[in-house]
Chains A and B, each alone.
Chain A
């Protein structure tokens, strides 16, 4: 199942499951307009996978604090020992995590 949230003026967020791993690939911007689709995707993450799940974000150009909040809150609901691996997000994502959720081991960020 794919999800997308087109926004006026060329801004949009497209989300689709990763073909070979547990997780999703995101393309576009995570803003107030696209955050509902982002939150729905986070709710669908296979959080109980033994090896965790992944969010591939190399094609995400912007994520606002509400988008990072949704991710951080989701991660805090994980069972002990599980984690979300966030691959190549915009630099603001780890910066906001450090600012508001220092020491959140359930999120592993692989930098761009």
Chain B
């Protein structure tokens, strides 16, 4: 596996990619900050996508009136439930199909109600947008509910966005440092429950450890297509450990609140911060493993350093 977070800070050279944060306080400021952005884009002929959580999605659709027909709407609570899949499956899925013109996207990946377990992955996602889209002719506007989000969340938004719009005033961020943010949230996990005994594996045990994970997950309440997703996830992560992570690893599975958690640890170092966040081309044979994991899980958390990598994947029990 790979992950030194050696993210390059974007340079101060002229940059076609714009990634402003919009701090809004109440519905009126939300609409004032987003509706003109959409309408200006439509007027200029730009493709426009809006990926925000309900009920903001319905609110924007309502206030855009007939202009809504020209906008691609995405419910971020579904498409972006796992923040790790937003870049490949939401943002690049829209932008890569329209590379001959400027593209506008409203993306709201952080909202009140995101859990403490989700939040580090959300912040890292916001920081990695700057790396993923550097040099692209694209604007991604990220609304933040400044009334209901904690002050440290807003402080992080200053670090992940080069420009912040607050109270209608647009200013360069004084603390923009996306690479530092990715590193800062690369934190060790709390200990797994003692009951979640580690299952060691090497190349010979890959099928065994997958069958073990699926059987235990079924006992813990995972079912149907989610069990298939768990099997695919375990296959990819454990194979990565064998191929890239020192040849062996350990797997743990347990239930936590209403979620099934699957953890894989190995001695590899995940050095590419965008691993699993790049779309694959249709004729590409390999390189879909981590992308698949991000696509089928509800959350992926990663802690990596030169001593090893731990990946925790979360599946909602009882969800489809």
Pairwise interchain contact B225-A91, C-beta atoms closer than 8 A: yes
Q: Does A70 sit within 8 A of B, measured CB to CB?
A: yes
Pairwise interchain contact A91-B207, C-beta atoms closer than 8 A: no
Pairwise interchain contact A9-B204, C-beta atoms closer than 8 A: yes
If A11-B207, A64-B236, A65-B288 touch, whether A100 touches B280 (CB-CB below 8 Å) is yes
Pairwise interchain contact A64-B225, C-beta atoms closer than 8 A: no
Which among A11, A31, A64, A92 has the highest number of chain B CB atoms within 10 Å?
A: A64
Q: Does A1 sit within 8 A of B, measured CB to CB?
A: no
Chain A binder among B227-235, B253-261, B306-314: B227-235
Closest to A67 in B: B235
Pairwise interchain contact A92-B232, C-beta atoms closer than 8 A: yes
- Please give the distance in Å from B306's CB to the nearest CB on chain A: 25
Q: Tell me which residues across on chain B come within 8 A of A51, comparing CB atoms.
A: none
| Contact residues of A between 17 and 72, Cβ < 8 Å to B | 29, 31-33, 62, 64-66, 69-70, 72
Which listed residue, B207, B231, B285, B292, touches A9 by the CB 8 Å rule? B207
Pairwise interchain contact A100-B228, C-beta atoms closer than 8 A: no
Q: Tell me which residues across on chain A come within 8 A of B285, comparing CB atoms.
A: 66, 69-70, 73
Pairwise interchain contact B292-A65, C-beta atoms closer than 8 A: yes
Q: Does B8 sit within 8 A of A, measured CB to CB?
A: no
The main secondary structure of chain B at its interface with chain A is helix
Q: Tell me which residues across on chain A come within 8 A of B280, comparing CB atoms.
A: 100
Pairwise interchain contact A32-B292, C-beta atoms closer than 8 A: no
Closest to A62 in B: B231
- Please give the distance in Å from A97's CB to the nearest CB on chain B: 11
- Please give the distance in Å from A70's CB to the nearest CB on chain B: 6
- Please give the distance in Å from A109's CB to the nearest CB on chain B: 15
Number of chain B residues whose Cβ lies closer than 8 Å to a Cβ of chain A: 26
- Bound Cα distance from A11 to B204, whole angstroms: 10
If A66-B288, A91-B225, A99-B295 touch, whether A32 touches B282 (CB-CB below 8 Å) is no
Closest to A8 in B: B204
Which listed residue, B231, B282, B292, touches A72 by the CB 8 Å rule? B282
Pairwise interchain contact B228-A95, C-beta atoms closer than 8 A: yes
Q: Does B198 sit within 8 A of A, measured CB to CB?
A: no
- Please give the distance in Å from B300's CB to the nearest CB on chain A: 15
Closest to B296 in A: A99
Pairwise interchain contact A32-B288, C-beta atoms closer than 8 A: no
Pairwise interchain contact B282-A33, C-beta atoms closer than 8 A: no
Q: Tell me which residues across on chain A come within 8 A of B206, comparing CB atoms.
A: 11, 31-33
- Bound Cα distance from A7 to B295, whole angstroms: 28
Q: Does B205 sit within 8 A of A, measured CB to CB?
A: yes
- Bound Cα distance from A70 to B288, whole angstroms: 12
Q: Tell me which residues across on chain B come within 8 A of A33, comparing CB atoms.
A: 203, 206
6 closest A-B pairs by CB: A11-B207, A8-B204, A32-B239, A9-B208, A64-B235, A65-B292
A contacts, CB < 8 Å to B: 7-11, 29, 31-33, 62, 64-66, 69-70, 72-73, 76, 90-92, 95-96, 99-101, 104
